[in-house]
Structure 1
């Protein structure tokens, strides 16, 4: 059950991680200028979570009806308990902060650069997972952490060599730093979600995971909505739509809706992977998909790809391969140790003296 769910979530995560940044950058380079609005879109698609929640309720009711016709009318929606609800709100508010930091950085950085920086979240993810959920390290995972950290450092050395024409040096530096902070914060959020699962005083089913996700997204969206109100985004959005460089208002609003859905897919599945596997596994999947995003950004937006980016990308891929090889070795060792002894491998029976 979990393996099939993990495959579905990984595919959905791939679509979200690769498509979300590209759509957000498309918004920025064609006249979009609202950072709070962009961060709001990251979780604004949360109403779609009601669809799987509804089908989950129907499936449970049908299952209960088949088991016991008498108790069929007692089927209720499973709800999270108060401590879990409060924890979900706190994580949601942290997510809202993280969304704003990422949206701010993406406004002033090329997608390829932003993706390479976000790739460093795996290093921080591993560190936080070690202290928060006792994630075990191997020489391969340590090597991956070091390589990804160095990759980000190499990227920082090239300064503003890929700075967009309409971005000042100060904006570029601030965007770079805030993207790094966003990567660190998201690396903290994933183990925090896993820790919440472990500490919850109720069974964590996939339905509960969906409810947690819903509460988190609503909290993050409300945080960003407050920022939009203070910043006056609602007054500017209609004018921004009319003046959008490609397609006008119709294309603008279509882009907004699709962006919200794509980001929600990425966000939902990243948390779902934590449920099916671990926080570190979710971080690794995100990091593995980032090189694809970088290549797509270079193709779609003709972004510069200097030597520093090439070195950073190679180090990142090396780190990914190192981590996965280590996981493969560990998994193979576990399987080998769990294999039952063959008949030829059974220890010899003790020899006893015969009587009589």
Structure 2
């Protein structure tokens, strides 16, 4: 059972990545960045930092082995072929999902993209039901409906927050790409949970880090292939020199983007290990209004009536889901207590 400290750590890491990732990605596009495949690459390019905790985990296992006086060979990696294959598959899917998301951020205000992504909780609930047998409650269904309606409301009057330098066609494609990214990532999260369940090896947080490493490696490879086809490698030096904030800050933005996004992915799959894919999706969705507010503050994005209504529906959906989960937990505890009392031996006075 995962400790509360581990849950809190993953929530903090996820919060930093979920709120900071879209903002720094938009900073790149706002200041002259145009390479979408490169942006999708940055979402997972920070994966080498995972080798640091993995190295300390290996040293810890080696020390315990020496203290026990055994001569067993300790492997650096714990992941076995079955889980490795699943991580590769999820990594490839994530690579394409990253492209869809980067395309959306390139042509949408961050606040709009955040509200669209909020709809993914509805899709996560649906995929979780079929893939990992997560049960629906009336409150879950209510949350799904509200989030879906919220996304539909946001799709109305899309011209109202279109950046001035973009065409209507670019905006619409960006909108649709973001919706597709939300649906695809909603499928990926339960897929990771299913991979954990079918791994046929004891899951640990070290193993979660290894899954993250493999996942991001193959997602990055997908993006690198896309960069090669799109000619990003030739264009990036020119783009760096013409970056509005200066060439030095271009590379600062690139490095911080890779690090911040790694926090998002690590926090997301860490919460799947600690709880479930649905809890991870809920945490992502809960943080989206914060991302929206930050976008309005830092980038002075418009906040129209449609966004306000969509935000209200999204928050209503979150509250509905959490209230349902609290009631469900209380009911489970009550049933468990009644079962335990019923199973106790009868006292002499009862006989």
Q: Pick closer, same or farther for the CA change 1:351–1:55 going to 2, 3 Å.
A: closer
For 1:278 and 1:22, the matched residues in 2 are separated by 27
Cα deviation for residue 79 of structure 1 reads: 2.6
Give the corresponding residue for 2:54: 53
The alignment covers a number of residue pairs equal to 347
What SS does structure 2 have at the residue aligned with 1:305?
Answer: coil
For 1:287 and 1:277, the matched residues in 2 are separated by 16
Give the corresponding residue for 1:157: 156
For 2:347 and 2:157, the matched residues in 1 are separated by 67
Counterparts in 2 of 1:181-330, with a 5 A limit? 181-246=180-245, 248-330=246-328
Once the two structures are overlaid, the 10-residue window that deviates more, 248-257 or 2-11, is 2-11
Give the corresponding residue for 1:123: 122
- 1:102-141 CA-to-partner distances (Å, cap 9, x unmatched) read 0001100000000000000000000000000000111111
For 2:159 and 2:198, the matched residues in 1 are separated by 44
For 2:242 and 2:55, the matched residues in 1 are separated by 39
Cα deviation for residue 180 of structure 1 reads: 0.3
Counterparts in 2 of 1:132-143, with a 5 A limit? 132-143=131-142
Q: Pick closer, same or farther for the CA change 1:351–1:168 going to 2, 3 Å.
A: closer
- 1:268-307 CA-to-partner distances (Å, cap 9, x unmatched) read 1101111110000000000000000000000000000000
For 1:169 and 1:70, the matched residues in 2 are separated by 67
Cα deviation for residue 202 of structure 1 reads: 1.5
For 1:77 and 1:219, the matched residues in 2 are separated by 20
Cα deviation for residue 160 of structure 1 reads: 1.7
Cα deviation for residue 25 of structure 1 reads: 0.3
- 1:174-221 CA-to-partner distances (Å, cap 9, x unmatched) read 000010000000000000001111111222221111111111101000
Unaligned runs of 5+ in 1: none
Give the corresponding residue for 1:40: 41
For 2:63 and 2:348, the matched residues in 1 are separated by 53
For 1:23 and 1:113, the matched residues in 2 are separated by 15
For 2:182 and 2:260, the matched residues in 1 are separated by 19
For 1:336 and 1:63, the matched residues in 2 are separated by 41
Give the corresponding residue for 1:144: 143
Q: 2:77 touches 2:210 (CA, 8 Å); kept in 1?
A: no
Cα deviation for residue 65 of structure 1 reads: 2.9
What SS does structure 2 have at the residue aligned with 1:43?
Answer: coil
For 1:65 and 1:2, the matched residues in 2 are separated by 27
Q: 2:109 touches 2:301 (CA, 8 Å); kept in 1?
A: yes
Unaligned runs of 5+ in 2: none
Counterparts in 2 of 1:77-92, with a 5 A limit? 77-92=76-91
Once the two structures are overlaid, the 10-residue window that deviates more, 197-206 or 128-137, is 197-206
What SS does structure 2 have at the residue aligned with 1:160?
Answer: helix
What SS does structure 1 have at the residue aligned with 2:161?
Answer: coil
For 1:302 and 1:4, the matched residues in 2 are separated by 36
Computing the radius of gyration over CA atoms, which structure comes out larger, 1 or 2? Answer: 1
Give the CA RMSD over aligned residues: 1.7
Cα deviation for residue 348 of structure 1 reads: 6.1
Q: Pick closer, same or farther for the CA change 1:203–1:167 going to 2, 3 Å.
A: same
